[in-house]
Amino acid sequence: MKELTAEDTSLLELVDRLLNKGVVLAGEATISVAGIDLIYLGLNVVLAAVETIGKAQERRAS
């Protein structure tokens, strides 16, 4: 399990709010980062992504 720093946590909490909270109006846009659509993904998924990235980096380093 990747240790979360305070900075990671702050960013994830903010991203979670931007993507999952706030007023929901009928819209049509999607955003993607590195080819992955982020809209409607919860904090859990973002955390999981951080952990996956961490593991991938560890594998590459070994």
Partner 1 sequence: MTLLAHAIAASPPATLSQEGLRGRPLAWSEAGDLGLWSTEWAPDIKLERPDALEHHRLVERICAAQPCLPVRFGTAFATSDDARASLDKRAAALHAALTRVAGKTELALTLLWRDSPGPLLIKSAAGPGRQYMEARRAEFAAREARRARAETMVDRVVAELAIDRQLVWHETCTSDNVAVSLAVLVPTERAAERKAELERVAARFPDVIPVLNGPWPPYTFARTE
- Contact residues: partner 1, CB under 8 A: 1-4, 6, 9-10, 13-33, 39, 43-44, 47-48, 51
β partners of residue 56: none
Give the nearer residue to partner 1 in terms of CB position, either 17 or 56: 17
Residue corresponding to tokens 């980096």: 57
Least distance between partner 1 and beta carbon 40 (Å) = 9
Least distance between partner 1 and beta carbon 61 (Å) = 20
**Rounded to whole angstroms, what are the CA distances from 13 to 7, 9, 26, 30?**
10, 6, 24, 20
